[in-house]
Structures are given as structure tokens and as C-alpha cells.
Amino acid sequence: MTTTASHNALRAGCRVLGMLLASTWLTHAEAAPRTTTIVLESHVGQRSADSATAIEPVVDELERLGFAARPNSIAKLLQGRAPRPGRLDQGKSVADIKQLIALGRGAFDKGKFSDAETALRRAVELIRRNPALLVLDTNNEKVTYSAFVALALTLSKLKLADEATAVMLELLRMSSTPIPQADYGPKAEEIHSNAQKQAQALGRGSLAIAVNDDRAMVFVDGQFRGLGKVALGDLIPGTHHVLVQVPGTGGLQYVRTVQTNEPSRLDVDWPLETMVHIEDPWAGLIFPTEADRAKEAVYAGELARRLRRDDLIIIGLTQLNGVSYVVGTQYPANGDPPIGAFAPVSGGEALLRSLARYLYDGTMAAGLRVLPRSSVGVSPAIALRDSEPRSPSTLLPKVVAGAGVLTVAAGAIAYKVSRGYDPVHPSGDNDGKNPTVFAMLGGSAVLGGGTYLWLRESTFASRLSAGLWSIGTAGMVAGAVLYLADQDQEPHEPRYIRDTAPAGVVIGASGVTLTGLGVFLLYRERHESSTVIGKRRDVPSWTPTIALGPSGAIMSCAGRF
């Protein structure tokens, strides 16, 4: 009774300890939320209409599942850190901005303040969206100044005093030039004075900008500030617009928020970020050449780190043997092997959407093929090629495995018909069945070798998974031979004839375990995604556990769902 009670108490203690450990693990898991994954397309040169049509179902499904796959979602997520072209409105010119300003001022003079607001807001928005259009000509400073002052005056007439002050405050971040009363009147000067008082109350902040190209011209709020590296320590807190431009390019623009008495920093990897395109209707990477695209894994990992993401998903279109495939690859920022799959464009929209589902939670679908986990640092085309079904195995694995099977079968037949222990000649080893047992054991080893060769040639099995599976197969067959060949002692026989049942059980059980482990490793190599991707639903996640008790151990899984 005492022993039973102590065992029950020990079991109860183990349960309590297990619950505490599980609670701690779950708390830790929930305390470390992952960042939302950004999805980018991948193209060599400009995006073609065919590429857009093929990739669209995957991008649309990923956005629906909660990833940031559309330009607006990405820009909102990154809050100005997203590199965007210095000119977002191709075809627009400074003349267009001047025309809108003239239209707005004309409407203002006629008392049509709503019409004036519409025109002037469009002018200011064009200035914000296209800094590269204005910065290289100092005469354009007057254009910007006029647009902001006229808009502030118009908002004041519409009884939007706070917004008028905010517009004038934005102008103060760009220029400290006082308001010429002769041009704009005393009301503009009053709004400007109010904005100056507000700016004084806000204090000052700092912004450091570093570009890994010494040729890069750095403009902050339309003003040239230096080459390559710039440190500004007397900025009015709030939103500041940064343009980085290497001669001969359209440049990249960013939006940074400067806080009072807090340093702010912007680091720009010019070669990498010039390949990023985030503007309607799509977001992605534009590689100059196929050679650059071959470095996609390196670029994706670095970009994920720079954008402070746990990972990045790249969706691209590639050709293999004349067949077009959409490839989806998730690149972890920490350098772990990428995870991905691909589907033929001809498979239809449903299959392409299932590719997005695979990237979301690892769900497989008929027609999808998984990229090998060993495809680290290679281009999607190479990874896809390497993941092509292996050519049919050579004759050698079949011959070796067949020889093993035949040896075991022949040994079993010989065992059945051969004569066992001969009591007439009791001296020496005269059991005629022993050689057949040895033959069957040798056949099991040959069968294991054939299994290894077949797995290596016909599947994606690694040496480890193929080795475990083949050794397990040999162990199961050998264990069965030893168990079935066990021979108990008879009165007229020696003490031990073949007391092999215990060894057969141990070897057979080990074979089952090793085979199961090999199968599991092969499955994981081919299908398992080792990281959680992006903003996803609550998908079950599991971790192996071993519960130790007073009289044994139980292996199971714990997790959350």
C-alpha cells in the first residue's frame, strides 16, 4: 500500500511539473510575436503582362491571408522606411505643378475657396510625391513655397485653422524664409507666426543619414544637405522627406519621423534598394540581369534584415524545359535555408492559390512541388531544376535489393527443409539449420543496402534519413529471422540451440524505431516548413516531449492549437 501511494504521489508531481513547464513554454511562445511578412514579386527587367497575370492569384491570396503583399499594405507597414522612386508620377512636370498653383490662386481670388483647395492640394501632393522633379533646380523652391502658403491661406478661409497651421509648419521644415507680406498679405504672416510658435514649443530633434555610395546626393525636405553621409541636429520634430539621388538616376525617397530630443537614423543600401519597386499596382524586385537574380537569396535575406522583418517572401516566374512555373520562396532573415514550392502556370488559378496556402501554413496540394531545403543561396531557376523528379533509379538498387529478398526467401525455404540438431551425433555443432539462419541475416543486410541505394537515387533522402531507413529495414528483417528461428532446449539437446528470440525482439524493435525516424526525416526534408511565416492564423504547432514516470517513459507531443 505504501509503495502504491508513493507511486501515485510521484505521478501527480510529474503531472504538475509537466503542466508548469507547458505553461512556461506557451507563455514564452506568445510573448514573442513574429513580424508580418512582406511579399515581393521578382522580375528581370520590367514586369511583363504575362508575368503579372501568372503571379496575380498568388499575390492576391497571400494578401487575403494577412501578408503585406500589395504596395499600400507594405507602405503602411513600413511607415516611410519603404524605398520608393524619387518620381512616383511619371509624365508629370514642374509645369503641371505651376499650372495647379495658378489655378488654385485664381479660384482663391474669385472667392471659390473649395475649388482653390482642390487644386492646391493636388499641387502639394505632387510636390511631396515627386521630389526628384524639383530639387535640382533652385528656382523650384519658389514653386514649393508658393504652393504651401497658398494652401494654408485657403484652409484658413475655409475655417480650418489647425490644418492651415500644420501646412505652414510643414513649410517651416523646408524653409525658414519669412512670408513676403506684399505677395501674400498679413493673414499669411499671421499663420506663419503661429506655426513658428508651435515649432518652438516642439523642441528639436536629429536625423543621421548614411548611404553606401559616396556619390549619393542627400536632400532633406527639398534642401541639399551633403554627399553620402549627413547628420542634422536642429530639425523641427515631425515628418521629414528624404531624397537620395545618385547622378543619372531618379533617386529614392523616404519618409522619416523625427522625435523631440531623440536621434533618428536612415541607412540606405543603394545597390539593393534601387531594385525595390513599391508602387501601384505591384511591389517587388527588379533585377537588371539574370546574374543579379541568381543572388536573390542573398538580396532577400539582407532586405528582410534592413526592413526589420523575420522573413521575406519572393514570388517569381521562371521557365524550365519550356514550361512556365510560379515559384514562391520564403527567405528567413537569420540565414536559415529557404522554404518554398512551385506550380505550373498551366495548372490554373486554384493551384496557384494553393501555392500561397503552402507558404501560409505548409498545406500541400496535388500539383505542387516543394523546393529542396538544401537550395541555399541559389536562384529560383536552379532550385527548381534541382527539384525536378529524379530520373528512374538505375538497375543497381533493384539488383541489390532483389538479391537480399531472394537470399532471405531462399534461406527461409532451406531452413524449413533442412535437418536440425542430430541427437545421434551429439558432439560438435551439427545443427543443419544454422547456416540458413546466417544466410537470412546476410540477406537482410543486403536488402538494407539496396533500400539505401534506392532512397538516394529515387527520392530527396539525405544520407542520414536514407541510412536510418535502410538500417531499420535490415533490422526489422533480421529481428524477424532471429525471433522465428528461436529454438528452445529439448531434453536430448544441448542447453542452448538458438536462444535468439530476445535478440530478435530488441533488433526488430530497433529496426522499427530507426525506420520510423528515417521516414520522419525524409518527410521533414521534403515538406516541413521550419518557421512560422508572416501574419497567419492560429495553426497548430507541436514540440516533442518525454514524460518520465516511476516505471517507464512516455514519448508524446505538446503544443498549442
Mapping DSSP to helix (H, G, I), strand (E, B) and coil, where does residue 434 land? helix
Contact 9, 1 (CB under 8 A): no
Query: For position 1, what pLDDT does the model report?
Result: 45
Q: Looking up cell 536625423, which residue turns up?
A: 207
pLDDT greater at residue 388 or residue 2: 388
- The three cell numbers of residue 262 are 531623440
Please give the DSSP secondary-structure letter assigned to residue 534.
S
Beta bridge partners of 264: 207
Separation of first and last alpha carbons in the chain? 40
Question: Which among 416, 437, 539 has a CA at the least distance from the CA of 482?
Answer: 437
pLDDT greater at residue 127 or residue 410: 127
User: pLDDT tens digit string along 278-333?
Assistant: 988 999 999 999 889 889 989 999 999 989 999 999 999 988 878 899 999 999 99
Distances 338 to 314, 327, 334, 455 between C-alpha atoms, Å: 11, 12, 10, 23
Report the alpha-carbon distance of residue 391 to residue 394 in Å, rounded.
Answer: 9
Query: For position 41, what pLDDT does the model report?
Result: 96
Contact 286, 43 (CB under 8 A): yes
pLDDT greater at residue 494 or residue 49: 49
Phi, psi of 218 (to 5 degrees): -110, 120
- Checking if the pLDDT of 250 tops 50, the result is yes
pLDDT greater at residue 472 or residue 17: 472
Amino acid, res. 12: A
The CATH code of the domain at 205-268 is: 2.60.40.2070
Phi, psi of 355 (to 5 degrees): -65, -40
Domain ranges (residues) in the chain:
38-78+275-386, 89-202, 205-268, 395-527
User: pLDDT tens digit string along 489-537?
Assistant: 666 655 556 778 888 889 989 989 988 888 888 776 655 433 333 334 4
Contact 332, 301 (CB under 8 A): yes
Query: For position 548, what pLDDT does the model report?
Result: 36
Domain 89-202 has CATH 3.30.43.10: no
User: pLDDT tens digit string along 168-207?
Assistant: 999 999 988 888 878 888 999 999 999 999 999 999 999 9
Report the alpha-carbon distance of residue 459 to residue 469 in Å, rounded.
Answer: 13
Report the alpha-carbon distance of residue 340 to residue 313 in Å, rounded.
Answer: 9
| DSSP alpha helix (H) spans, 158-295 | 161-174, 181-202, 270-273, 290-293
User: pLDDT tens digit string along 434-456?
Assistant: 888 888 889 889 988 888 888 87
Domain 38-78+275-386 falls in which CATH fold?
Rossmann fold (3.40.50)
- If pLDDT is split at 50, 70 and 90, which confidence band does 79 have? confident
Report the alpha-carbon distance of residue 119 to residue 102 in Å, rounded.
Answer: 9
Task: Output the CA angle 26-34-308, nearest 5 degrees.
Answer: 150
